[in-house]
Amino acid sequence: MTSRQTSWPRAWLMTDERMGGRLWEAIDRLPIKHSGIVFRHYSTAPDGRALLAERIADICHRRALALAVASDVALARAVDADLVHNPAEPPIGMRFSMSVHSMEEAEFAKASGAALVFVSPVRATRSHPGRKPLPRALARRIAAAAGAPAIALGGMNEWNFQRYEREGFYGWAGIDAWLGDEGA
């Protein structure tokens, strides 16, 4: 966590290529100082991905948003990200977050020292059509077992999060929710 980040945000945008040009609209909707971005764009060519990450990092630094870069530790360091998301192995000297979908993954995240976990899918989601959401009781157990603040992901928006917050989740993340679309 950098000096601009004293605690983890409770609201996160997960980026991906299907957002297209609406990515900027979604970023504009993020509350200043109280939200973060997990930059994924896994299918973007490396040079284009680096340029896009730099542009997003500039916005994050200007607006005091947290930034996690998925998978690429070197890119996360290059853009001064707060976290690397789903690294192949825990990076030395950098905090990291992990996606968790099962008790085994939650226990692995805890043993690895993840600073933040994204539990998914907690609800039906357009980004993974046909995939059944985790049963609520299991999602709660996964969140509790991870040993780090748990972010609910999958079909989430601020309204849906209220119930999950009462059940022990720290925050929420979405894609479509930041575009004004239902069913993140």
Per-residue pLDDT tens for 44-85?
A: 999 999 999 999 999 999 999 999 999 999 999 999 999 999
* Whole-prediction pTM: 0.93
Least confident of 4-13, 86-95, 155-164: 4-13
Mean of pLDDT values over 124-143: 89
pLDDT digits (tens, 9 = 90+) for 16-34: 999 999 999 999 999 999 9
What is the token pair recorded at 4?
């601009």
> What contacts 24+ positions apart, CB below 8 Å, involve 19-25?
19/175, 19/179, 22/179, 25/178, 25/179
**157 confidence band (pLDDT: 50, 70, 90):** very high
Check pLDDT > 50 for residue 5. no
pLDDT at 182: 55
Q: What is the largest CA-CA distance in the chain?
A: 42
CATH number corresponding to 11-178: 3.20.20.70
Check pLDDT > 70 for residue 90. yes
Amino acid at residue number 91: P
pLDDT at 105: 98
**Angle ∠(90,94,96) on CA atoms, nearest 5:** 55
Cβ neighbours of residue 124 closer than 8 Å, sequence gap 6 or more: 131, 132, 133, 154, 155, 183
pLDDT at 125: 82
Check pLDDT > 60 for residue 1. no
